[in-house]
Structure 1
């Protein structure tokens, strides 16, 4: 099979399009014919500096397609079924093997490209808001990087719960587009003072919850906009900066900071059921999956470079 591989960490140019052996099917897993790859932020970070679990290494969390083979212990999935899958690596290929526990059936009528982009962003956003963020109806949430896949999911889920939603983005154009997904107030972080704008919007009360997939210096601003008993769900380091923050101010306001990693509980019944519910909601049109641009798998280097240019609105997809 063909795959986008690399032999050492580095910039997008380390990715090469080569022939590699087909994956073997585990007893508790499946092999799929990949029809769409959703490039995650973690994929670019792993390519840049993560562990190479195989040589050559095939990076990638998410991909969707059709089951080619099932393991001897798999009872609830079958050959020919459409699924969307998650694994720690291996998505950037024509075929991939995953555990059956991290493969979700795709309902009829849902575009396989959209299905590929649901589990990690929507599952992560849901955990940030509810499992760890304890968001309640009527509260105010700030979503950092609202035009990213996690941000777009968080805006929709928070609005559906009845929250007031504030989000940041790098341009007014992106903020205007976010309004159709439930955004109440937008802040252009390149031109506006984030803390001052949030305090103005909340009558100096601050927000109840921040979803922060950026980290770095942005995390300090997330802390600074918290109201009394405010919470932060910190879920990434897209900014690629050191995590140096002053947490002293959190004590006086009984504020809290929680790190969120969907992968830590990806095999749990709670997460499995929640992701399937989110997929079903998308199939019914109750949630929107935003796809920004499509590349060929052979163009993986260009796709990664495009993502790192930070102009994407939603997910970038590759088609083998």
Structure 2
């Protein structure tokens, strides 16, 4: 099969399009013929930083496609099933292996390309808001980097839950588009001071919940924007900065911060996360929630797709298509 691989950590330029052996499903696993890859921020961090156990390495957490083979003991799926799957690596390829428990059936009325943008994005956003953020109707939430995949999912889910939603982005056109997905108040973090603007919008109180996929200096601002007993869900390092030491204000606000990694929840609490993801897929299929697709790249241009995301011009999810 063809795959986007790399032999050393680095920038998008380390990705190569090569022939590699077809993977085979082991016990409890399924083999997918990939229809679309939803490129994740975690894919970029993995390519940059994660130690390589072997080479060539195929990166990638999430893909949709059709089941073409079953590993020993798999009875929950059948060959020919349309699914979207989470995996620890291997999605940037024509074929990919996933645990059967992390593969979710896709309804016939839902495009597989759209399905490739659901489990990680919407599952992560849901956990940030509700499982760890404990968001309630009538509260106010700040979504940092609201134009990304997790950010757009969080805006929609928070609005549907009856919250007031404030979001940040770097470009006026992104902020205008976000209003169509439920954003109540937009902040351009390049031209406005986010904390000052949040305090203006909340009458000096701050927000109840922050979803922060950026980290670094942005995380420090998220702490400053919190209301008393507020909650931060920190979900990524898109800013690629060392975490700031000054989170002392959390103590004086009796506030809290949780790291959120949905893949960990899938592994440790599948009885909770599986019905959650199935419900999110159903909500997208019904039109209640929307997967926003930014741009589609052929698999051989995986480096260009990663570079496009790192350029911070994307609005929504970027796809790779074999």
Q: TM-score range by the shorter chain?
A: over 0.9
Deviations 1:172-230 (A, max 9, x none): 11010000110000000000011110000000010000000000000000000111111
Partner of 1:313: 315
State yes or no: 1:194 paired with 2:194.
yes
Partner of 1:53: 53
C-alpha deviation, 1:70, in angstroms: 0.8
Partner of 1:275: 277
Q: Distance in 2 between matches of 1:204 and 1:141?
A: 14
Secondary structure of residue in 1 paired with 2:104: strand
Partner of 1:246: 246
Secondary structure of residue in 1 paired with 2:120: helix
Secondary structure of residue in 2 paired with 1:266: helix
Q: Distance in 1 between matches of 2:99 and 2:251?
A: 42
CA contact (8 A) 1:219 1:245 kept: no
1:166-245 residue pairs with structure 2 within 5 A? Answer: 166-245=166-245
Q: Which stretches in structure 1 are left out of the alignment for 5+ residues?
A: none
Question: TM-score scaled to structure 1, two decimals?
Answer: 0.99
Partner of 2:127: 127
C-alpha deviation, 1:76, in angstroms: 1.2
- The structure-2 alpha-carbon separation of the partners of 1:259 and 1:276, relative to structure 1 and needing over 3 Å to count, comes to same
Q: Distance in 2 between matches of 1:247 and 1:216?
A: 11
C-alpha deviation, 1:247, in angstroms: 2.0
C-alpha deviation, 1:51, in angstroms: 2.2
Give me the CA root mean square deviation: 0.7
C-alpha deviation, 1:259, in angstroms: 0.9
State yes or no: 1:92 paired with 2:87.
no
Q: Distance in 2 between matches of 1:75 and 1:53?
A: 31
C-alpha deviation, 1:273, in angstroms: 1.0
Select the residue among 283, 287, 290 that pairs with 1:288. 290
Q: Distance in 2 between matches of 1:235 and 1:48?
A: 18
CA contact (8 A) 1:217 1:245 kept: no
Question: TM-score scaled to structure 2, two decimals?
Answer: 0.98
State yes or no: 1:30 paired with 2:17.
no
Q: Distance in 2 between matches of 1:112 and 1:73?
A: 26
State yes or no: 1:304 paired with 2:278.
no
CA contact (8 A) 1:135 1:209 kept: yes
- The structure-2 alpha-carbon separation of the partners of 1:53 and 1:88, relative to structure 1 and needing over 3 Å to count, comes to farther
Q: Distance in 1 between matches of 2:91 and 2:51?
A: 16
Deviations 1:224-263 (A, max 9, x none): 0111111100010100001013122122221111111111
- The structure-2 alpha-carbon separation of the partners of 1:132 and 1:178, relative to structure 1 and needing over 3 Å to count, comes to same
Partner of 2:19: 19
Secondary structure of residue in 2 paired with 1:245: coil
Q: Distance in 2 between matches of 1:162 and 1:92?
A: 37
Moved over 2 A (4+): none
C-alpha deviation, 1:53, in angstroms: 3.4
